[in-house]
Every structure is written in structure tokens, then in C-alpha cells.
Copies of this chain bind each other. A is one copy, B any other.
Amino acid sequence: MTRQEKPEILEQGDPAEDAKAFRRTLGQFATGVTAITTATPDGPVGVTANSFSSLSLDPPLVLWSIARTSRSFGAFSEAAHFAISILGENQIDVSQKLSSSSDDKFNGLEWSPGKGGSPVIAGALATLECATETVHDGGDHIILVGRVLHHQRFAGKPLLYAQGQYGVVDEHPAFRTLANAAAPVGDTGPALAEQPLTTLLYLAHHYSSAAFDQHRREENISLAQSRILSELRRRPHLSRTALIGRVYLTEEKVNEALERLAQRAHIETDAQGLVSLTESGHAVAASIRRRVTAYEAEQFAGIPEDKLAITRDVLIRFINGLAHPNETDHAA
């Protein structure tokens, strides 16, 4: 963990000289995920965007940007209306569909027409039906400013996109009294003993997740690359499409991670376009797996096997109850 320490620099430079490095730096800004749509005479058009930003309360304005090279550029640059649906944490499928290169992105999507007929996505966390207010030049993109005519807010939690992958929001550890404490080991014992079990679960998960980040950095691979290696270790000869479906990253991110892995000769693609691990790829995948095993062995060293078995049993019972709330309700 990096608390109290200065973070390690990964790369820097002039963005004009290395667009990919610049893109990775921009990816450090976490965002929600939106589906932005409009109606055209040829049917609905939509894209996934994380360039959304609120702009003004009075008048009510929001903005987003679209690449001049996007297939949907023409439709949006001429649209009088568009609808923005802020996606909830269960809507990765919507994000994947609208960011795909499919010709029928709306196939299987549930939506209803909003102002100007723009598709409003069902199940979203919030929706904003807009009239196009202004369009500004923005380099290789244009900035679209929309005046919000109608808004809706729903219960739920947002889908996130951060550092090249989907995520969910977790409570900040600063809210938990203990996570902020800099007290030595002996002193935290009694305070922890007073916490509810659910707080202990939270702290154990958050700290171990942060510790794993460190291990991936030591292997010099991103989480995206790690996930691809692990997937290919179990199932060789996967197509790019199959990989995209399995690792829940955008097409662009999977291609970028595959490119890096290929540069390092960790993967190879056969004549049919199927991807497999090379010998060095197998070595890295195995090394990561060993790190997980060694990490757990080290962290739980000194705790008797039977106590660990009981802990596993309690957690499994807890998860089974929570994963099936309806069944729990019926039993109660």
C-alpha cells in the first residue's frame, strides 16, 4: 500500500509525442458510463461515452464530446435532440452493446422514446433528455452542449470506468474510523474487536485489494493484461471477440492490452485469429497465480488450518444467504 508514501511515477512526457501514453494518463480520471442516443430517419443511433459532464444549473446544461471519426458523428452533429442515460452497475451489457462495432446495436436493448424520439435506456440510474444547445470545435472531437428538458433519477449505484476497466463504487476507507488510525498493531486490536463483522469484512477486503495492486505492479502488468493472461491460461485458442466477452473490458482496451502482451511476446495469434499464450506468457500467468497463493499463505501464516476452514465456512454461508435475498426472505 502506498499510504504515507509518494506514489511511483509510471510515465510522463509531451502528449503530442506519444498519444497512447497520454491516453493512459487520462484514464486515471475515473468516470461513470453513459449511453447517448438520438433518433434518425434510419432508426436509433447510440454510443457509449464517458466524456459526459454537468455544466450549468441555470440554464440547465450538460456537455459531452464525440470523435470526428465516430460512425455516429454525422447523426449527432446534426441532431436537434439527444438522450443521455447514466448507466447503473448492472448495465455492462448496455455499455458493451453501444460501444461495439455491431450494425444493430439496439438489438436486445430495452428503451422508450424521449424528447425528439431519442431512445431513453430502461434500467438506467438517471436519464437526461436534451435539446442540442451549441456545438463547439474540440480538436479531433466536437463538444456537444445540451439543454436538459426532462430528467429522471432512479435508485441504485453507478457503473464506473476507471484505469481502463469497469468497476463499482465502494465506500471510502476514511469513513471507517479504524482505517484512518496510524496506531501500532497492538493498539488496533481492541478497537477492531468492537466493530461489527460487516465492518471487518470491508476492511479485510479493501486492504487485501490494495495489496494485490502492488503485486501486479511488481510483475509490470496491468490488471487488464493480468486478466487476459489468466483467461488464456485456462482456455487457449480464444478469438478477440471471445476475450472481450470474457474479461468485461471495451474492445479498444482489450486490443490495447493484447498489443502490449504481443510486444512482449507473451501471446501469439494463429492463422485463424485465435490467441494463445507463448511460453513466456505461461510463465507470467503462472507467476501471478503463485503470487496469489503465496500472498494468502503469508497473510494467513500462524493461523491454524481449522480456524481458516471455519472462517471459509462462515463466509460461504453468509454469501449464499446474501446472493439469494428472495430465498432468504421466504425462509424468514
Known: A155-B7, A197-B308. A322 touches B31 (CB 8 A): no
How would you classify the secondary structure of chain A's contact residues: helix, strand, loop or mixed?
mixed
Contact among B1, B22, B143, B319 for A203, CB-based, below 8 A: B319
Complex Cα spacing A23 to B62, Å:
11
Contact among B22, B136, B206 for A136, CB-based, below 8 A: B136
Q: Is A307's CB under 8 angstroms from B299's CB? A: no
In the bound complex, residues from chain B placing their C-beta under 8 Å from that of A200 are: 312, 315-316, 319
Nearest neighbor of A149 in chain B, beta-carbon distance:
B14
Q: At the interface, yes or no: A233 with Cβ under 8 Å from chain B?
A: no
CB-contacts of A182-226 with B (<8 A)? 184-185, 188-189, 192-193, 196-198, 200-213, 217
In the bound complex, residues from chain B placing their C-beta under 8 Å from that of A51 are: 53-55
How many copies of this chain does the complex contain?
A: 2
Q: At the interface, yes or no: A122 with Cβ under 8 Å from chain B?
A: yes
In the bound complex, residues from chain B placing their C-beta under 8 Å from that of A324 are: 184-185
For residue A226, give the distance in angstroms from its CB to the closest CB of chain B: 11
In the bound complex, residues from chain B placing their C-beta under 8 Å from that of A62 are: 26
Q: Is A192's CB under 8 angstroms from B22's CB? A: no
Q: Is A300's CB under 8 angstroms from B205's CB? A: no
Contact among B12, B151, B227, B300 for A151, CB-based, below 8 A: B12
In the bound complex, residues from chain B placing their C-beta under 8 Å from that of A296 are: 196-198
Surface stretch bound by B, among A39-47, A86-94, A262-270, A280-288: A86-94
Which of A8, A12, A60, A125 has its CB near the most chain B CB atoms (within 10 A)?
A60
Nearest neighbor of A5 in chain B, beta-carbon distance:
B123
Q: Is B325's CB under 8 angstroms from A152's CB? A: no
Complex Cα spacing A7 to B62, Å:
23
Q: Is B320's CB under 8 angstroms from A185's CB? A: yes
Q: Is B8's CB under 8 angstroms from A154's CB? A: yes
Q: Is B140's CB under 8 angstroms from A211's CB? A: no
Contact among B21, B92, B163 for A158, CB-based, below 8 A: B163
Q: What mask results when residues 52 to 78 of chain A are scored 1 for a CB within 8 Å of chain B, else 0? A: 111111111111110000000000000
Q: Is B29's CB under 8 angstroms from A29's CB? A: no
Q: What are 18 A-B pairs with beta-carbon distances under 8 A?
A: A2-B155, A6-B123, A11-B153, A12-B150, A12-B152, A16-B59, A22-B60, A26-B54, A56-B65, A157-B162, A168-B170, A169-B170, A171-B209, A188-B323, A196-B293, A204-B205, A302-B317, A311-B315
